[in-house]
Amino acid sequence: MTRSADTHCPYCALQCAMTLTPTGAPAGRPDATTDAAAAPVTVAGRDFPTNRGGLCKKGWTSAELLTAPSRLGAPLVRGADGALHETSWDEALDLVATSLRGIRSAHGADAVGVFGGGGLTNEKAYLLGKFARLALGTSRIDYNGRYCMSSAAAAGNRAFGVDRGLPFPLEDLDGAETVLLLGTNVAETMPPFIGHLAGAQAAGGLVVVDPRRTATARLTDDGRGLHVQPVPGTDLPLLLGLIHIVIAERLVDLDYIGSRTVGFDRVRRSVAAWWPERVQSVTGVAALTLKRLARRLASGANTYILTGRGVEQHVDGTDTATAAINLALLLGLPGRAGSGYGTLTGQGNGQGGREHGQKCDQLPGYRKIVDPEARAHVARVWGVSPDVIPGPGVPAVELLKLLGAPGGVRALMVHGSNLVVSSPNVLDVRAGLERLDLLVVCDFFLSETAALADVVLPITQWAEEEGTMTSLEGRVIRRRRALTPPDGVRDELWILHELAERLGSTAAFDTDPEAVFEELRLASEGGIADYSGIDYAMLDRGDAAYWPFPRGGESTPRLFVDRFAHADGLARLVPVAVRESARPVATGDEITLITGRLLEHYQSGAQTRRVPELLAARPELIASLHPATGLRLGIEDDDRVEVSNVRGIVHCRARLTPDIRPDAVFLPFHYGDEQTANLLTSDEVDPISAMPEFKTNVVGIRRLASVPAMPVAESGVPA
Amino acid sequence: MSPLHVVLVGYGPVGARFVEEILPGVRTGAVALTVLAGEDVEAYNRVLVAEYAVGNTELDAMFVGDRETAEEAGARVLLGVDVTAVDRAARTVALSTGETLAYDRLVLATGARANVPTLDGIERHRRDLASLEKYGAQLVARDDDLPAGITALRDLADAERVLEAVRARRRIIVLGAGVLGLELALAAAHAGAQVCVVHHGPHPMPRNLDRGGGHVLRSALRRTGIQVIAHSRAEAVAFRTGEDGERRFDMLVTADGKQIRGDLLVLSCGVSPRTELAVLAGLRTASGVVVHPSLASWTDPAIFAIGDCAQVVERTEELARQRTLPGAPSGLIAPGWRQAAWLAGSFLDEAVERPTSATPPVEREPLVMLKAEHIDVVAVGDLGGDPFDDDALHPRRRVSQWADPEHLRYVKMVTEDGVLTGFASVGMPRTAAELTLLFERGGELPADRSILLRFDGPDYDPAADADAFAPATTVCWCNAVTVGRIEESAACGNTTVECVGRDTRAGTGCGGCRGRIAEVLARVGDPDGEPTLTV
């Protein structure tokens, strides 16, 4: 096979377009005696409205994973000796099916849990939800998007009646004169995105709110905008303060508020108590800065407000995202040409992955699982009685707390997620996984989670499969196969099909992605995320298909032009308040931990830590501290430090940088084992979205007596 | 179980917060709540009255209470209704409507009223027990009427009077240089009025600022065009009769004989708690209604006080015998809100017979911030001492100071064992914001105190710490390519942006750095010369 394939990057939600051209090098694992095989495909950026031919370092090196030495090439089963051993597919699948049947008959269907991921294609995500509900009969399915988009999704649904990350094409940002980025470091997480900020930069209107002086914050230098550096955990008061100023200074768009929204009066009351000086005393952002920012946002120039995980991954993340939406609505931005509100979806298919049934309370098409009409519709497509479909399950963190608990989950299937790196309070998650009777992990590599599994099923990578993804714009795009997968690996659709059959399910589990997509179209028809008008042929022609795209209807590149998705067409202004008891506050010597991302790594690092060039650039966990904090704690650059709290202990190297506030420490969460930042994060969750708190955990830091440098292998690739 | 009957007197911002916090109990029926709001208006944020008085905000934007929600939950909110008397034995209150209400818990959130200083020409009423017993109906929940052209600045009616003068660009005299007086003066001046501040101390905000801070503030005020007359004790007001036959304020006369003319005199001479109901009911009062840290009255465990009318004093036998008591209501909103939230929580616990675990809020010393567009003042704590003190009484106290009166900047930081116990900051907003946080959290100051000052330095540009052409400086963010890597590539013969891109991937992401790559290449070609752009 030498034809090249037009596809998209395997990593983030920007889904940069790329072309893969086979080199003729043999696919599959390299010979054990060589370090690495030549990549079987070359990667080239492809012109597309989002990335315009560009790729970041992760995208350029993505093909190296196809032949990475540590790639799994056969199913693994834990033997009596406690080690994982290669076995045949039949044996592995029989074992899984037998165990699942046994657990189900002994403990009931809800004793089996499923944990999905935001990187799965639409077809996989859809089929996984169906598999859980029909083949397993369990309500207990949720996914890692709970740690990612759940707060913004809940806020969007509440305000607009729909949750599409960007309700407009990314290119619209090019014409912006003011862009407010709240808690997002796009320059590192999706670098080609920043090309779309050039207009705002040229107009001096790029505003970045982040407690760290990130690469994105630096884009505001030299008169190109403003970096606002609040205390971690004060995003909500900051936004309430901006709303207060916008109202007090009569900068609101009264016509828009009157004709397109409800709830202004209560929101107005809810911010009366947040005058600028009070906000200054809480956030550390000068009142004058707040006023200037509010005035800039309201200056009438094309203005966009975009949120990221920085303001959403909080125990009050839904309310914080809601405050950002309220600000946008009061300024009349959503649905107005040349302006808007959006949230930047993170994972590759973080958008599609949250629409088609991986969420515990949801059925395909962004339908609610408790809605009788939705159940009836999906049951018809699935050819079952609505009563067969289980009710709502529990969100991710709660699901993990049920692992091995009485009446809880005895078996867990994990798809596209590295739980013991990306979940909060990792020690508890590890303990939960160890209490299970059966842990099945589908992955390309022996991730930290796979290493704990009873059965590991090796699966295809992006260049070896067909399917669709839905980008951060809500645009459905095609993933195309450039290579035949290596012999020992299988597609997850096939795995679900085989398991369903072994479990005696009579429902259809197609193995052909296009056939699965056709079914997804029917299932989503009439739902909020309606894909029924989209087909592969259309996507292969290059048509831009933004959902909702009803059968016989049209693509919807821009939502909210005439109406919002609530029945009355109006957006909801929802008053939100600061809950003072929401989070512990660092006092005295304590420091606030911010977790986040690096350019070179993606999510749990299961993939990027296996790309030599990326690992070499960022081989180990490093804690970023302000020099003043270093001085106070007796920590110098490159010292080894212990970062700890009641939940756990992390050892790493320290880097002193003025780019962080003196009251905070930054740890990227991409590393495994004792370098896992999530050992320190709390599993308290947002009461609405069930999002954990990743950004304001309280820690102590101390210098460790000098010890030899840690070998790279320990932090990088497990053997 | 019958509900806990709670009667709240006063519906200002603190009362409104109490209502908000206790609503969950009202919803379940565990609490029956009646609110008596003296003013015939929704609860509004009094902090913003000065803003309203100069036309910077509208009344709509000041409302804090959500009466509709409270009423939906089952609370009874009576606007414009006063309590005229409390019968402690019967546990009832008498209302101005003639109604009598029973209570299990009575909460006084009556706030404070503006002080009217002793001035010839202005009539004042005493509110001691004898006067209250004699003239109760005229004095309880009522403020003294002031002559035309003279006003306090406490409620909306006051603000309307000021607004009229500001709109007409009249000359306004502010008597008093506390934080509220100065806020009004600055806002009014900013709105175009002529403003004169008269005060008797040596410098403005004498209660909050040390001498250095005060002097810098005075200079800053004068720089904005406000006339500041210090060392002047006001003694009398004089009136004139206008063409309409109305007798109006004409001038303020000071003890040293100055005659200061103006159109409106705004009295900003502090506030006094409204204690008259408590006095009539025989509750212990000092400057405010005296309550335990649990906010219950010293005299009657069924009566509580929160906010500006409450004076929290830990009761000891010795203090109980004294006539005067230490402390006073802070006059700031944040402590009042904390009290309201805590008290509502403890009532909720009581109503469902749940043991209450939380301890009452312990107030730190309140922080004072001047709200003004162009002058930034924040101060808190004891600002005594100077950097060179060797004070045996304060062996661990250290003082750092920065004074630049010419450029209107001043910071004083007082620490004990490195922890901030007081500071004053004038004209340095970023520094003030950081010091505020450090004070609130009890964090240690950086050993190099000057770090805190640099936030406001004219050179403060975090971008400036990086040499744009230093080898480690990142040029291409998408691919994390540094200046050094590009120079290396150029040395290997890659002399165009395209070649460098193929070699290092620089410029192959968003493409935004291609110009910068060209600059780096140009410098490689001609290290000493000006960069020339060749792509």
Residues A357, A497 within the same domain: yes
Q: Which of A14, A46, A67 is the last residue of a domain?
A: A67
Q: What's the CATH superfamily of B150-269?
A: FAD/NAD(P)-binding domain (3.50.50.60)
- pLDDT band per the 50, 70, 90 thresholds, residue A662: confident
> Would the CB atoms of B437 and A284 count as touching at under 8 Å?
yes
CA–CA distance, A501 with A159 (Å, rounded to integer): 42
pLDDT of residue B459: 47
Nearest by CB: A617 against B437, B462, B480: B480
Q: What is the pLDDT of residues A182-195, one digit of tens each?
A: 999 999 999 999 99
Q: What's the CATH superfamily of B466-525?
A: BFD-like [2Fe-2S]-binding domain (1.10.10.1100)
H/E stretch holding B21: helix B13-28
Cβ of residue A269 closer than 8 Å to a chain B Cβ: yes
More confident residue, B530 or A482: A482
Closest-CA residue in chain A for B58? A248
> Would the CB atoms of B437 and A55 count as touching at under 8 Å?
no
User: What is the total count of domains within chain A?
Assistant: 4
Tell me, what CATH number does A258's domain have? Answer: 3.40.228.10
- pLDDT band per the 50, 70, 90 thresholds, residue A612: very high
Contacts of A587 (CB under 8 A, 6+ apart): B441, B442, B443
Closest-CA residue in chain A for B456? A286
Tell me, what CATH number does A698's domain have? Answer: 2.40.40.20
Averaged pLDDT for residues B337-345: 92
Cβ of residue A614 closer than 8 Å to a chain B Cβ: no
The CATH number assigned to the domain with range B376-462 reads 3.30.390
Q: What is the pLDDT of residues A88-143, one digit of tens each?
A: 999 999 999 999 999 999 999 999 999 999 999 999 999 999 999 999 999 999 99
CA–CA distance, A245 with A304 (Å, rounded to integer): 18
Q: Which of B420, B370, B331 is nearest to B183 (CA)?
A: B370
Which of A 159-178 lie inside 8 A of B, CB atoms? none
Output the pTM of the full model: 0.90
Residues A327, A198 within the same domain: yes
- pLDDT band per the 50, 70, 90 thresholds, residue A27: low
Nearest-neighbour CA in chain B from A680: distance (Å): 21
Rounded percentage of chain A residues whose pLDDT exceeds 90 = 90
CB contact at 8 A, B310 and B288: yes
In a domain, A551, yes or no: no
Backbone angles phi, psi at A174, to 5 degrees: -55, -30
In a domain, A237, yes or no: yes
Averaged pLDDT for residues A570-583: 89
Nearest by CB: B477 against A187, A222, A272: A187
Averaged pLDDT for residues B504-522: 85
pLDDT of residue A31: 46
CA–CA distance, B462 with A658 (Å, rounded to integer): 8
Q: Which residues of A touch B51 (CB under 8 A)?
A: 248, 275
Which of A 190-219 lie inside 8 A of B, CB atoms? 191-196, 198, 213, 215, 218
Nearest by CB: A57 against B47, B65, B479: B479
> Would the CB atoms of B48 and A275 count as touching at under 8 Å?
yes
The C-alpha R_g of chain B, in whole angstroms, comes to 30
pLDDT of residue A605: 95
Q: Which residues of B touch A249 (CB under 8 A)?
A: 56-57
pLDDT of residue B460: 52
Cβ of residue A587 closer than 8 Å to a chain B Cβ: yes
Cβ of residue A248 closer than 8 Å to a chain B Cβ: yes
Residues A671, A606 within the same domain: yes
Which tokens belong to A604?
């749990």
In a domain, A570, yes or no: no
pLDDT of residue A716: 44
Alpha helices in B168-241 (DSSP H): 179-190, 211-223
> Would the CB atoms of A663 and B479 count as touching at under 8 Å?
no
Which of the residues B60, B430, B510, B513 would you substitute to probe the A interface, choosing the one with the greatest number of A C-beta atoms within 10 Å? B510
Cβ of residue A293 closer than 8 Å to a chain B Cβ: no
pLDDT of residue A34: 43
pLDDT of residue A39: 83
- pLDDT band per the 50, 70, 90 thresholds, residue B281: very high
Whole-angstrom distance between the N-terminal and C-terminal Cα of chain B?
84
Averaged pLDDT for residues A65-76: 95
Which of A 562-581 lie inside 8 A of B, CB atoms? 575, 580
pLDDT at B192 over 80: yes
Which of the residues A206, A281, A282, A618 would you substitute to probe the B interface, choosing the one with the greatest number of B C-beta atoms within 10 Å? A281
Q: Which residues of A touch B430 (CB under 8 A)?
A: 286
> Would the CB atoms of B436 and A284 count as touching at under 8 Å?
yes
Q: Are strands A649-656 and A622-625 parallel, antiparallel or unpaired?
A: parallel
Q: Which residues of A touch B446 (CB under 8 A)?
A: 628-629, 631-632, 662
pLDDT of residue B352: 85
Q: Which residues of A touch B62 (CB under 8 A)?
A: 272
pLDDT of residue A37: 54
Cβ of residue A617 closer than 8 Å to a chain B Cβ: yes
- pLDDT band per the 50, 70, 90 thresholds, residue B450: confident
Tell me, what CATH number does A14's domain have? Answer: 2.20.25.90
The CATH number assigned to the domain with range B4-115+272-351 reads 3.50.50.60
Residues A329, A226 within the same domain: yes
Q: Are strands A5-8 and A17-22 parallel, antiparallel or unpaired?
A: antiparallel
Residues A97, A196 within the same domain: no
- Concatenating the DSSP letter of every residue in A263-313 gives -HHHHHHHHTT--HHHHHHHH---HHHHHHHHHHHTSSS-EEEEE-HHHHS
Least confident of A71-80, A330-339, A530-539, B522-531: B522-531
Nearest by CB: B510 against A195, A276, A280: A195
- pLDDT band per the 50, 70, 90 thresholds, residue B535: very low
Residues A468, A500 within the same domain: yes
Cβ of residue A52 closer than 8 Å to a chain B Cβ: yes
Q: Which residues of B touch A268 (CB under 8 A)?
A: 60-61, 63
pLDDT of residue B455: 73
- pLDDT band per the 50, 70, 90 thresholds, residue B476: confident
Nearest by CB: A588 against B442, B465, B511: B442
Closest-CA residue in chain A for B513? A195
CB contact at 8 A, A666 and A212: yes
Q: Could you tell me the residue ranges of all domains in chain B?
A: 4-115+272-351, 150-269, 376-462, 466-525
Residues A390, A338 within the same domain: no
Shared fold status for B4-115+272-351 and B150-269: yes
Sheet containing B264-267: which strands, arranged edge to edge?
A: B150-152, B264-267, B171-175, B194-198, B227-229
CB contact at 8 A, A393 and A141: yes
- Concatenating the DSSP letter of every residue in B398-440 gives EEEEEEEGGGTEEEEEEEETTEEEEEEEES-HHHHHHHHHHHH
Which tokens belong to A580?
């003072």
pLDDT at A35 over 80: no
Q: Which of A67, A101, A120 is the last residue of a domain?
A: A67
In a domain, A535, yes or no: no
Residues A174, A59 within the same domain: no
Range of the domain at A432: 76-148+349-365+373-511
Which tokens belong to B226?
């406000």
Least confident of A553-557, A703-707, B478-482: A703-707
Which tokens belong to A291?
């006023």
Nearest-neighbour CA in chain A from B126: distance (Å): 34
Residues A207, A159 within the same domain: yes
pLDDT of residue B342: 92
> Would the CB atoms of B61 and A248 count as touching at under 8 Å?
yes
CA–CA distance, A125 with A140 (Å, rounded to integer): 15
pLDDT of residue A482: 95
Residues A642, A709 within the same domain: yes
Residues A433, A503 within the same domain: yes
Residues A291, A427 within the same domain: no
pLDDT at B458 over 60: no
Q: Which residues of A touch B64 (CB under 8 A)?
A: 269, 272-273
CA A388 distance to own-chain centroid: 30
Computed over every residue of chain A, the mean pLDDT equals 93
Which tokens belong to B417?
């064992």
- Cα distances from B96 to residues A683, B42, B92, B129, B369, in angstroms, run 53, 18, 13, 20, 38
